[in-house]
Amino acid sequence: MTAPVATPAALFAPVRSQTAFEETLERLGTAIKLGLLEPAERLPAERDLCAQMGISRSTLRQALTALVQSGHLRAVRGRRGGTFVAERPPPAPEPSAELLAGWREVCDQRLAAELAVAVLACERAKPAQLDALDEVVAAMEDRLEDFPAYRQADVRVHVGLAESTGSAGLVTAMTEAQGAMTDVIAHIAHPREVLAWSNAQHAELLAAVRDGDAARATRIATEHLMGTVHVVAGLLPPGGLTSVRTAP
């Protein structure tokens, strides 16, 4: 194993985002792709990482588990164990130049649709509509190992919530946003831990809508979408990082 290069201090600086799990995943995934964490390099001990990044042990372990599941890290047990950067991180399909240049705009488009839907759904969604969506979210827990099936249900939740507003325009906007998002996330891994985290937010969002709490619903929707931004930035092939650095 070659001696690791000096790791920039910013990599393990305190995490301040409301979406600590996703931001942690982004930082580590980006560092691996850029070579700041080299193949076969051992990560600092969990206790040290938690202290440096200002996150809980459970948050760190969720992010590490997701990156192990995606093939970016490997966990070794025993006295000489620990968490190591994979010697050969998984290759990803080559996304188009247009996609790399515009993925952040896709996320912005979806965020705008999601926030409008969250506000109006709190006012207009009927209990029967939310009951049906609750059933979809519950069923998604059994699809964490089958991403195509999970994604199909995921789209159904978001479009279904848009339908509950009674606005045809918002349904169209949400459908278009979800279609564009599907093109983006086709180029990243889909660790079980990330899907489970995302689906828990689905349940929280529906609960806020059921309570008619627009402030809570928009906060959860924002965290949900910003979580997606962090995950995409952390797992998208290196060429896509340009748009992260230049995005406002």
In the prediction, which pLDDT does 182 show? 86
What does the angle CA 59 – CA 113 – CA 239 come to, to the nearest 5 degrees? 60
The CATH number assigned to the domain with range 9-85 reads 1.10.10.10
In the prediction, which pLDDT does 33 show? 77
Other CB atoms within a 10 A radius of the CB of residue 69 amount to 16
CA distance 140 to 154: 8
129 to each of 22, 93, 209, how far by Cα in Å? 30, 38, 11
Domain ranges of the chain: 9-85, 97-246
Q: Are 194 and 231 in contact (CB under 8 A)?
A: yes
The fold adopted by the segment(s) 97-246 is: Four Helix Bundle (Hemerythrin (Met), subunit A) (1.20.120)
In the prediction, which pLDDT does 1 show? 44
The HSE-up count of residue 158 (CA atoms within 13 Å, CB side) is 28
In the prediction, which pLDDT does 95 show? 63
Distance of CA 9 to the CA centre of its chain: 24
- Predicted model pTM: 0.73
Ranges under pLDDT 50 in the chain: 1-5, 241-248
Pair of tokens at residue 48: 């040290």
Between the two ends of the chain, the Cα-to-Cα distance in Å is: 39
In the prediction, which pLDDT does 63 show? 94
